[in-house]
Amino acid sequence: MKHKHYWTTDYSNYKRICKICGAIFKDMDTYLFEVCDRIPINTVIDVGTGMKGVVGEHFWLHRKKIKAGWMVDIWNLKPSHFWRPLKINALNLEQYFKPKSVDVVQAFGFLEHLEKEDGYRFLRIAENIAKKVVIVSAASTLHGPTPDYKVNIDGNPYHLYRSTWKWDEFNRIGYKTSYEDMVNGLTYSEEVIAWRVLNPT
């Protein structure tokens, strides 16, 4: 019999586990764990942070114990005692960070709000700034009835959906993706998670 899952987080591997049936779900911080846990990391940029806060904050602060982090958004940012705020256009990141100056650049739920050409441009910028890992997610389909539904909910004009992404688009430019997990029902079907390890040491 089907039931509503009641998820709890296993902080040993950051997977979600249903308290009722033991089902497993891999969220964005699960992939942060799987990609980054064995890589020495001290600095992180989170792009598109918004008012929800940094994705994987528990992982970065409590498991990896990073030394510095920046949260980037062109609209509003959630206040933080640790993350340094940068209210800028992410396509201008190279004006603030030198090449290979930060260990990880992450951007979850961000690329779909850019035109496809600017999305690829952002990935090139992220790969230039990051020393070790670039990890992102991007909508594979609209998360609502219209491209502007998020704009209508929160008034943020930058929440307009401008593109959707597929797993093979990332594969073609050298990224690994969540495709196999998605096919097996372990993670999102409406969200591509993709990462590129630039240097594992």
> Is residue 93 a contact partner of residue 48, using CB atoms and an 8 Å limit?
no
- Say yes or no to pLDDT of 135 above 70: yes
Residues of the chain with pLDDT > 90: what percent? Answer: 90
The arithmetic mean of pLDDT across residues 9-38, rounded, is 96
Position 1 pLDDT exceeds 70: no
**Cα separations (Å) of 71 from 10, 110, 181, 189?**
25, 13, 28, 27
Beta bridge partners, 27, equal none
pLDDT (0 to 100) of residue 35: 98
- Over residues 154-178, mean pLDDT: 95
- Give the separation between CA 74 and CA 88, rounded to whole angstroms: 5
Is 3 a residue whose pLDDT tops 70?
A: yes
Of 76, 78, 72, 82, which Cα lies nearest the Cα of 48?
72
Query: Domains of the chain: which residue ranges?
Result: 38-197
pLDDT at site 155: 87
- Whole-model pTM over 0.85: yes
Q: Give domain 38-197's CATH superfamily.
A: Vaccinia Virus protein VP39 (3.40.50.150)
C-alpha 13/C-alpha 10 separation (Å) is 6
User: Looking up tokens 């990391």, which residue turns up?
Assistant: 41
Average pLDDT over residues 80-105: 98
